[in-house]
Each structure stands twice: as structure tokens, then as C-alpha cells.
A and B are shown apart, each in its own frame.
Chain A
């Protein structure tokens, strides 16, 4: 039964019968698309998601068939494709930062939903200010829901590098959001070097 086959088996079968690759699309398109929707405007997300599967199909012979799950590989392709659109991602994040309500220091005693809304601008600003390799790791962790070993596989980097990038990224984020003692999101925003 094709549904019971691992991704690896399906990709293997698609080398002889290209249409078999359709099952990979069915299994993972929504997840890849959702991840990209978090990062990009709708039309760009649509395009990159679709292109991810075209690139994956063209490169299926290079898929490491010792790995049963193709998700890390697909998210890796999507992330690589997304890099050429990073500029747009930054423009949108900075736009959100510019038009969102001012963040304020401290979040104690405020409902989480309200916090999220209030910190939307500072968060966008902080994400825009992250180095792209740190942003990729963070986005794959949170929005693609990949584990650290899977992120390492997706980006073809050592697990230790994932860990250190993640640590730096989170540190920057927490600092910018005032989630560490003494840090003020407004001040963090004002001293950011990623502005217009």
C-alpha cells in the first residue's frame, strides 16, 4: 500500500514512475506551505512552496534514501529557496514593526494574547535583525516544528551549530523583547541598527 510506504520508498519508486512523487506532495505540501506563510506574504509563500516540490522532484535522485522522512529535506529546500526572498521578508517584518503598537517594558500581569499583540512590533523588529542563518534555524524550529537533529539535516550543518545558532537567536530575541531582566523592548527597538 503506497500510503504505508516511507517517504524514502516513495521517492525511490518515483525514480522509475515519476507520478509516484505525488504522494510526497500530498503528505507534506500543507506543512511546507504553512511554514512559508509564516515567513512571507501569501503570493510569495505560494510560489516558494510550489517551487520546493518542483526542485525536490528534479533532485529526488539525490535524496538520502537511508532517511525515511523527507520533511527535513523538503524544509531544507524551502529554506534555501526562501533565502533569495529574504529581502522581502525583512521589508515586511520592518513594516510590521513600524506600524504595530509600541512595545512596552515588562509583561507581568497581562494576558498572553494581549502581550502577543503588543509585542508584535518588537518581535518583527527582532526577527528582522537576526542574522539570516540564525533566523533560519529559529523559523525551522518554531514554524516547521523540526527537531534540532532534523534542522541539522535540513540545513546540512552539524547539530552543534544548530544548537549554538539557536542559542544566539533566542538570546537576541529575548533581549529585544524585554524578556530578560533589565531589557526594555522600546529601548531595544530604538537602538536597533536594522531600521530604515
Chain B
């Protein structure tokens, strides 16, 4: 079980990608109560956050964060995210996932697929016999 209450605020630290393993280990040892956010190499991921974030996606992230915290015992765990998502994940950790879920429940309804977006979708590709 987690050593800290699930959903409570945490101390997130973004682990610099330039750090060697020894440097990372030193940073972890010096911050036993922190949770580490590892950012994936920039070349492999999109650089901009998605503009149409939706509730289910964020709930999935919260599930993942809670799962990592639970299985890692709440401290010195690592979450691997893309650079675009790192600030959001750090914000969620600062706030605590429980509070974030409450905010999510109270969020007003929105429309992700506008009529213009639907009409801009391309026609399906046509195979040749």
C-alpha cells in the first residue's frame, strides 16, 4: 500500500534528461519524499499539448499517477511523460489527484468535435483492385 494517502499533494521533480544514472540516483536519494517526472526524448513526441483535452483522458492520467504512487509506495516513484504533458502532470501532483478529480467532476460540459471539424475530416482512402 501507499505510504501516503492516495490522492494527496506530492512534491514533483522533473528529472533532467541530461542527468546520468549516478546523478539521478543522487537526486533521488536526496529527495526521498519526491515523485520524479521523467521527460521522454523530445524527438519522439509531439511538442505541443493537445488542444482538446477531455475528461476521460485526464481521468486516465490520474488513474496512472495513482497506480504508480500506490505500487511504488508513494515516494521516489517515477512517471514518464512527454515534454508537452510534463507541466500538466507536475500541476496534478502539486494539487493532489483527489482534488484534481473533484475539479474534473465540476467542469462544465464542452464540445470537442465542432461542426467545422467534422466537415473538415477527409474522405476515406480508396483502395485500387
State whether these chains interact.
Answer: no
Interface residues, chain A, with chain B CB atoms under 8 Å away: none
Interface residues, chain B, with chain A CB atoms under 8 Å away: none
